[in-house]
Amino acid sequence: MKTKSLLILIALVVMISPIFANAQTSSGTLTIGGTVTGSISLIFNSGPLALTAGAGTNTATLNYGSISKYGAPPANVTITPGAGNWTAAADFVVNVTQYNTTSTQYKLNVSGPATYPAGITAALKTGTTTITVPAGSGVDIWGGTSSVAAKAYGNQTVTAITTITDTASAAAFNYNLSFLATAL
């Protein structure tokens, strides 16, 4: 009986083997390619004055709070009275990071709004150099046409300076500055 069962099993295996031997198969190769291009990223971070919104992004808000020519300034805001005007100033950080590029420096261009609120102008200070940001156009803050050399990637502290004339309205004000970092 064992022999007969063994013979039947062998016969079944021999009969089924051609089914697996004739299975249809196909293969292929996928080639994946691309071009890695360099890029840079610009974000704003808080300096001593915490950004009121958007820290760690490329759209942030720096709000001085309530300010006046001769009143006590909010923490980390500097008020400087002048003849016919006064300034409010606060620090923030520009962080530009590079990816997949051999560039070691970048220039930073800042554009002012089409028009500033009445009695308001803006400037940015880097190191000991203060550069006025004109309305309706851009100016290189460092690198490019600026007298300040191009910067290495990483954090750079910048001081925002708002000049307010003595005849400006006692009201809230807002204006936008647009930053453009360009790898060199």
Domains and CATH numbers, the chain: 39-183 (2.60.40)
Given a contact cutoff of 8 angstroms between Cβ atoms, the answer to whether 98 and 124 are in contact is: no
Residues 111-144 as b/e (b if ≥16 CB within 10 A, e otherwise) read bbbeebbeebbbbbbbeeeebebeeeebbbbbbb
Provide the β-strand partners of residue 165: 85
8 phi/psi in degrees, rounded to 5: -65, -40
Judged on CB neighbours under 10 Å (0-12, 13-18, 19+), 175 is: middle
Cα(53)–Cα(61) distance, rounded to whole angstroms?
A: 5
Q: Could you list the pLDDT tens digit for every one of the 184 residues in the chain?
A: 566 666 666 665 555 555 555 678 999 999 999 999 999 999 998 766 657 778 888 998 888 889 999 989 988 899 999 999 999 999 999 999 999 999 999 999 999 999 999 999 999 999 999 999 999 999 999 999 999 999 999 999 999 999 999 999 999 999 999 999 999 9
Q: Could you tell me if 138 and 182 are in contact, meaning their C-beta atoms sit under 8 angstroms apart?
A: no
- pTM over cut 0.85: no
Q: Report how far residue 18's alpha carbon sits from residue 159's, in angstroms, rounded to the nearest whole number.
A: 82
Q: Which amino acid is at 44?
A: F
Cα–Cα distance measured from residue 78 to residue 178, given in angstroms and rounded to the nearest whole number: 23
